[in-house]
Structure 1
Amino acid sequence: MTESDALLEVNGLKTHFFTPDGVVRAVDGVDLTVPRARTVCIVGESGCGKSITSRSILRLIDPPGRIVDGEIVWRGGQQSGRTPGDGAAVDLVSLDPDGERIRRIRGNEISMIFQEPMASLSPMYTVGAQMIETIRLHRSMSKDEAREHATAMLARVGIPQPERRIDAYSFQLSGGMSQRVMIAMALACQPDLLIADEPTTALDVTTQARILDLIRELQADTHMSVLFITHDLGVVAELADDVVVMYLGTVVETGSVDDVFHDPKHPYTRALLRSIPTMGRGTRERLPSIRGMVPHPSQRPPGCPYHPRCDEAIAGRCDQEDPPVVALGPRRTARCVLYDPSGGPPGPSPASAGASGTAEAGMEDTP
């Protein structure tokens, strides 16, 4: 992939929280790329750093957290209506998080849909007032023009009677309707990149399917890129072009959705895929799941962060060495000593030594 194809590049990103009990390494060296007009899904259990990664991109990290290393290279500003020259590459980490430049990017070139629309929409103002404020902040429009544009966006995302709904308050709308309002608000300024942080978690499966269809349709119409954050592998299979698998603040595997689902490389990815319920399982057959749970980032184990839960861990290596990131092909990587060409394992793996392959705790169904 050429540099011009990469809309967003995150290199070595580290976001740490400095608490009285010590440093919490919530994001600890993340690398990922979002190509233009493609959907990249970040997947992993709760506590793996997915949401902090997305908030870091928008510089929305509150104290005591801060970005301590890495770069976030942004090449947006290609849509119509941008300031000339905005398409030049800029490192978002170098910008003042409260400065004019990042405010021009945030909500304009990069928009975000948060997990809970009822918490993101103010109950004190109508949805129209909130949309109009956002539009006028980034577009040279009169109030009437912004209202007309907001109404058109509500219609575009499938809100019935948008001329009337624009004057409704968030508490007068259902969860699915509120989520559509959030999508309309996020897309009102025609962003180059839409970040969606678990936008369907609180919705029923029918509404979830409609929201996913809506995102796909809008992406096809506007050619925007999407960075979709989820713990639901079914959503990943349905929506993603590329997949980034995260564990405990690091990226353990990347690849196309076909590569990751049909030829998973990292033991964590394979364990996640084994834990998906399938129609062919017997009614009394126990669902495979991952033993243990994701530790708190402040209690990160030495060596590979996944090795205490891994049935393929190599004694003397995985518990001591920080695993290398190995390139396995175009946009295909795995962070695991199993693919390290520098040398073979010094000892048997727990699986070959008789460790149980039966898991006891699966993927959490929380954000």
Structure 2
Amino acid sequence: MPRDDHDRRASRSDPATAERWLETANLRWCDVNSRRRLQSVFRRFDAESEHEMNWPSGEAALVTGAASGIGLGVARALVAAGAAVALTDVDGERLDAVARELTENGGNVVALRFDASDTLGWESLADRAEAALGPISIVCSIAGVNGGTTADGTPAEVWQWVFRVNTESQFAAAATFIPRFKARGGRAHLLNTSSISGFIPLPGVAAYTASKFACTGLTMALREELKDTEIGVSLLIPGAVATRINYSAGEAEARLLGREMNVELAAANSELLMKGADPDRVGEQVIEAMAANEMYIVTHREWGDRIAGVFDEVVRAYRDFDGRHGPDPVAQAMLAGIDAIHT
């Protein structure tokens, strides 16, 4: 049944247009009832197409770290795009202020104070969010902290705290919402936040770098696991963005260790950071990228060559290896398209 481009784009909800399409498709033989059924299909197709074009309008989203920084930027962008948003953050006072701001601007939001690192609390959080807004179809894991220094200078409790917030929270979010997405069907999306430190090993922030590398690996695995579903996966890789992370994380780390925060250190580490990208513009970029179902969302092109250098070194190690152990049977199977990992 040939269709030209004009007919393909034309609205089939208009009966006259549908009639013309039927004739073009050589379906003039259809009886009245058949034509009506086809017109009903076209109307439904139009509605679905319009929803897809306007996505995420009409969806419900959950954003962690929504009280400030990139999380707030993403929440603002989602509201501006017509989505309802469950705002979560450990900072209840700031979160309530954000909820008031977005509500006054016409947004449909709910503020849910929550520590994203509480992996056992995610099911309850999901229930609360969906009780307030209906089924959540977009989950943006933005909450993150920096902590510790070099590997040998980082207390174990700080290392574990950084991983709980930066990595385990993203696992818990995915493990909680993916079954709900699959059960309901339809389009859904997961966004995780890594960092340049999730691709380039930056010295002096061992826990942060390791946690962000783990986040990158988790998100890549999620994309592979969900490639045959309607669940999109994106990874935000921010460079310098003007956020309070050095202050908020510094305060939290000081409380964890029972000592005073090093304000001078936080200020020194924030000096260049605060000259970085506007979190609100990053939020808008994130929504555009998710709508286009893009995997990698970067904020600064200057890091590209540094990342290439890291991977080039790895590729070179494989290329130069003498192959003394013979071929890898797992690699051979996977290259042949055989599923070598059974779950």
Structure index of larger Rg: 2
* Larger strand fraction of residues: 1
* Larger helix fraction of residues: 2
- Using the size of structure 2 for normalisation, the TM-score is 0.25
